[in-house]
Amino acid sequence: MAIFEIASFGAIVVLVVLGLGIIASMMGIFNFAQGEFVLLGAYVTYIVHTAGLPVWLGMVAAPFVVGALGFVLERLIVRRFYAAPIVAMLGTYALGLIIREIVRGLIGGLYLSVPEPVGGSVAIGGMHFSTWRLVIIVITALVMAGSYLLLARTAFGLRIRASLENPALARASGISTNAIYGATFAFGAALAGLAGALIVPVFTLFADLGIRFLIQGFVAVMVGGIGSFAGPVAGAGLIGTLSAALPWVISPVIADVAVFVLAIIFIKFRPQGLVAGKGV
Amino acid sequence: MQEKGFSPMSQDANTLSRRRFLGNAALFGTAIATGVGSWVIPAGWANAAAGPIKVGVGTDLTGPMGYAGNADANVARMVIKDINDAGGLLGRPLELYIEDTASNESVAVGNVRKLIQREKVDLVIGGITSSMRNAIKDVIVSRGKTLYIYPQLYEGKECTPYLFCTGPTPAQQCDEFIPWLIKNGGKKFALPSANYVWPHTLNVYARKVIEANGGEVVFEEYYPLDQIDFSSTVNRIISNKVDVVFNTVIPPGVGPFFKQLSEAGFLKNGGRLACVYYDENTLSINQPAEIEGLASCLDYFKALTPEDPFSAKLQAAYEKQFPGNFLFAAGSAATGTYRGLKLWEAAVKEAGSVDRDAVAKALDHAKIAEGPGGPAEMVPGQRHCKMKMYTAVAKGGKYEVVARSAGLVDPKEC
């Protein structure tokens, strides 16, 4: 029981951090609007649901809508920040703030429920497991595997890695790094949109949904190590599992702080993170 | 920003005269001077000798508490308009000043100071969270030398002179409710709570009432305010075979918490959910099946409208003036705001002036015969309000009133 619950929250954090990690690792910028992409994914699902269409349709649409928006934002705004990562943080933070407050206005600051496409729970030996959380674990595994294959095994993935490692050489080899950056950012945003769509039935829709995961996400990326695909994923798994597991053994208020303290101590002794170096 | 629609001045503004132009320009100037986030609703007939009486509202129009603050501001607009339409107070019109406290205490102090120092209001009503009340009460009451009415249900123990509370206290929300829960749920209580002052203080009182009525608290635990995963909590509730979950976890955590609880089979096994801030706003957080049977105890539910003609009239008037997301509900202090303003109106009438001491003296024993959920009266010396209390249960996404207090319930404060 405990293991299932902890794994399901771990999977949720991995799902949320995946897009953040890809943008941070492959493009070298910290996207502070990532939480709001998660929120937008959730919001798209809610809109589709209130339009009377099935919820799963919203979940399919969310990554495409958010990915497209991510692409537009990268073209218009984010690309101007590549030279200055610190400014990029502020810029994306501002973007996030704008998106968050617009959504807050649209939903009237309320907390709204969105039903899951497959609801209820599976009872095994007197214990009830939430079906939807089970689905999330499975989808997270699939998305993780898919993203890994895309980055490690396809020509597109190779171009992304090339653009990260040596932009000048990549351009000289005929790769349009501009287009690659746009696509990567859109892909990261789409993953966030998917995460938002999948978690909204669990956590309800509210304007601060994304910000809740943003800090955890950044700690996960720091702990996991920037520069690779595996690093942030490993970090997210660790942070997610820790923050779900600690309240089982110590007071939740202390557990909340303890996760961050442990993360800081870990980074102090291993600044390069769990997975060092660049690559996939 | 200029609020329009309440003053005759804007209704027939299509005949533009020089005087009207100057009047509108003056209003526009005020709007600029008071800044964005301030609303001034002038009385339409500001020709009385003594000038208008100024009512200040400081509430959370933006930020996480915005859904409640906007409803409270709407209620104030409605009440002030009604009083003005009926000829004002003491022959003087009322003017409403609304400031945004932005769900942020440091912003709030500055904006409330504007109400006191620049507008020199005769009354401030507002504040939703206890931390907000604590942040602005000094600005209003001690340094501002102004009356303050706090309209929200809260943990009690606020005994500052010149500060009057018109929302329910722990005694009002527990004394009749907890015996009902023991009868209709069971004796084993769990108190999962958000880690701030309201749950801590309320739980001390609730525990006393639970134990006095033969129940027991098997588990009391506090969580960070933004925690949204409650698997360990749910596990302990199920494994301890808890009968009643007396919840003070707040949004955003409460939705996921109730969902996990129902997925773990708590409701199926006959468990009872209870949450004393649950009103019509919070019903939408979960799907109806996840909170089936949730019980709440408040001074008003919309479900009362078929049996209480005055509440029905009020509810209809509010919905007509303010259709949309901001509901007239008890948990967001909307009913407390109504009660507060009407009690203050009665006190000003009795005192015959807006002098702070005279009004406070009259407000100390003010009564209103009609209000949301019934009459209300101040308990002399307590600066808290006696009112009727109702227990309601959520069924299929709607409340059903299942119990009501015999008379007005004592707040038992101060």
pLDDT score of B349: 95
Domains and CATH numbers, chain B: 8-168+312-383 (3.40.50.2300), 171-298+390-404 (3.40.50.2300)
Distance CA A37, CA A70 (A): 8
Nearest to B231 among A5, A111, A121 (CB): A5
pLDDT for res B205: 95
Q: What is the mean pLDDT of residues B110-114?
A: 95
Residue A269 domain-assigned (yes or no): no
The maximal CA–CA distance of chain B, rounded, in angstroms, is 77
pLDDT band, residue A130 (cuts 50/70/90): confident
- Closest residue by Cα to residue B231 from B194, B256, B196, B266: B256
Q: Give CA–CA dist B185/B197, Å, rounded.
A: 27
Mean pLDDT over the full length of chain B: 89
Q: Are A16 and A38 a contacting pair, CB within 8 Å?
A: yes
Instruction: Give the pLDDT confidence score for residue B242 in this predicted structure.
Output: 96
Q: What is the distance of C-alpha B23 from the center of its chain?
A: 35
The half-sphere exposure of B356 on its side-chain side, counting CA atoms within 13 A, is 18
Whether the CB-CB separation of B153 and B298 falls below 8 Å is answered with yes
CA distance B348 to B345: 5
pLDDT value, residue B284: 86
Judged by CB atoms closer than 8 Å, whether chains meet at A253 and B285 is answered as no
Cα B362 off chain centre by: 22
Q: Is residue A264 part of a domain?
A: no
Distance (Å) from the alpha carbon of A101 to chain B's nearest alpha carbon = 9
Per-residue pLDDT band at A35 (split at 50, 70, 90): very high
**Three-class SS of residue B194?**
strand
- H helix intervals, A28-78: 34-50, 55-76
Express each pLDDT in A53-83 by its tens digit.
Answer: 999 999 999 999 999 999 999 999 988 888 8
Residue B305 pLDDT: 94
From A215-229, B29-43, B47-61, the region with the lowest mean pLDDT: B29-43
A243 at B interface, C-beta within 8 A: yes
* B67 part of contact set with chain A, CB < 8 Å: yes
Residue B280 — φ and ψ, nearest 5°? -70, -25
Supply the DSSP string of B318-337, one letter for each residue: HHHHS-SS----TTTTHHHH
Contact A37, A196 (CB under 8 A): yes
Q: Where are the beta strands (DSSP E) in A74-153?
A: 121-124, 127-130
> Which residues of A are less than 8 Å from B231 in CB distance?
2, 5-6, 8-9, 244, 247-248
CB B59 within 8 A of CB B126: yes
Q: Confirm or reject contact between B269 and chain A (CB < 8 A).
A: no
Amino acid at B47: N
B180 Cβ neighbours under 8 A, 6+ residues apart:
B295, B391, B402, B403
Predicted confidence (pLDDT) at residue B209 exceeds the cutoff of 60:
yes
**What is the tens place of the pLDDT at every residue in B142-189?**
999 999 999 999 999 999 999 999 999 999 999 999 999 999 999 999
What total of structural domains would you count in chain A? 1
Question: Mutating which of B103, B195, B228 best tests the A interface, going by the most A Cβ atoms within 10 A?
Answer: B228
Distance from CA of B160 to the nearest CA of A (A): 31
Spell out where A125-255 has E strands: 127-130
pLDDT at A279 over 80: no
Query: What local confidence, expressed as pLDDT, does residue B10 receive?
Result: 41
pLDDT of residue A39 exceeding 90: yes
> Least CA distance to A3: which residue of chain B?
B231
Asked if residue A267 is part of any domain, the answer here is: no
Q: What is the mean pLDDT of residues B244-269?
A: 92
Residues A225, B239 contacting (CB under 8 angstroms): no
B287 backbone φψ class: left, alpha, beta (φ>0; ψ -120 to 50): beta
The upper half-sphere exposure of residue B91, i.e. CA atoms within 13 Å in the direction of its Cβ, equals 6
Integer-rounded Cα radius of gyration of chain B: 22
Strand positions, DSSP E, B248-372? 272-274, 295-298, 367-368
Measure the CA–CA gap between B362 and B364, rounded to whole angstroms: 5
CB B245 within 8 A of CB B215: no
Q: What is the pTM of this model?
A: 0.85
Q: What backbone phi and psi angles, to 5 degrees, belong to B56?
A: -105, 135
pLDDT reported for residue B6: 40
- What burial class does residue B33 get, using C-beta atoms within 10 Å of its C-beta: 0-12 exposed, 13-18 middle, 19+ buried? exposed
Could you tell me the strand order of the sheet in which B244-246 lies? B216-223, B188-194, B244-246, B272-274, B295-298, B390-395, B398-404
Residue A120, in any domain of the structure? no
Residue A19 has pLDDT above 80, yes or no: yes
Give the integer Cα–Cα distance in Å for B20 and B261.
61
Residue B404 has pLDDT above 50, yes or no: yes
Backbone angles phi, psi at B221, to 5 degrees: -145, 150
Helix (H, G, I), strand (E, B) or coil at B100: strand
Residue A225 Rama label (left phi>0; alpha psi -120 to 50; beta)? left
Separation CA A187–CA B383 (nearest Å): 59
Residue A225 pLDDT: 87
Question: Is A188 inside any structural domain?
Answer: yes
pLDDT at A204 over 50: yes
pLDDT of B43: 63
Asked whether the CA dihedral A147, A149, A152, A153 is positive or negative, the reply is negative
Contacts of B265 in chain A (CB under 8 A): 121, 123, 128
Q: Which domain holds residue A27?
A: 2-109+128-209
Q: Cβ separation of A113 and B222 shorter than 8 Å?
A: no
Rounded Cα distance, A236 and A126, in Å: 31
Does the beta carbon of B221 lie under 8 angstroms from any beta carbon of chain A? yes
Q: Write phi, then psi, for B387 (nearest 5 degrees).
A: -155, 170
Asked if residue A110 has pLDDT above 80, the reply is yes
Residue with the bigger pLDDT between A107 and A45: it is A45
For residue A118, tell me if it sits in a domain. no
Residues 318-337 of B with CB under 8 A from A: 324-326
Q: Check the CA dihedral B100-B104-B105-B106 and report its sign.
A: negative
Task: Report the distance separating Cα B181 and Cα B408, nearest Å.
Answer: 20
Cα distance between residue A265 and residue A128, in whole Å: 37
Interchain contact A258–B (C-beta under 8 A)? no
Taking the C-alpha atoms of residue B33 and residue A12, their distance in angstroms, rounded to an integer, is: 48
Q: Mean pLDDT across the stretch A35-40?
A: 96
pLDDT of residue B63: 80
Tens of pLDDT, residue by residue over B320-377, are 999 988 899 999 999 999 999 999 999 999 999 999 999 999 999 999 999 999 999 9
Joined tokens for residue A21:
């990690």
Q: Which of B229, B259, B264 sits opposite A9 (nearest CB)?
A: B229
**Mean pLDDT (whole number) for B397-413:** 94
Taking only the tens place, the pLDDT of each residue in B6-45 is 444 444 444 455 555 555 655 555 554 454 556 777 666 5
Predicted pLDDT at B9: 41
Rounded average pLDDT over A262-268: 91
Residue A276 in contact with partner chain B when CB distance is under 8 A: no
Name chain B contacts of A8, Cβ cutoff 8 Å.
231
Assigned domain for A138 exists: yes
Percentages helix, strand, coil for chain A (3-state, rounded to 5) are: 75, 5, 20
> In B, which residues are within 8 Å of A202 by CB distance?
256, 259
Beta bridge partners of A129: A122
| Residues of A (2-41) whose Cβ lies below 8 Å from B | 2, 5-6, 8-9
Q: Which of A8-17, A160-169, B316-325, B386-395 has the lowest mean pLDDT?
A: A160-169
Contact A240, A223 (CB under 8 A): no
Give B256 to chain A, closest Cα distance, Å.
5
Domain assignment present for residue A184? The answer is yes
Query: CA triplet A175, A176, A180: central angle to 5 degrees?
Result: 100
Instruction: Report the C-alpha gap between B372 and B323 in whole angstroms.
Output: 18
- Give the DSSP H/E element, type plus range, for residue B220: strand B216-223
The whole-number pLDDT of residue A186 equals 95
Give the one of B252, B281, B286 whose C-beta lies nearest to A206's C-beta.
Answer: B252
Phi, psi of B75 (to 5 degrees): -60, -45
Q: What is the pLDDT of residue B101?
A: 94
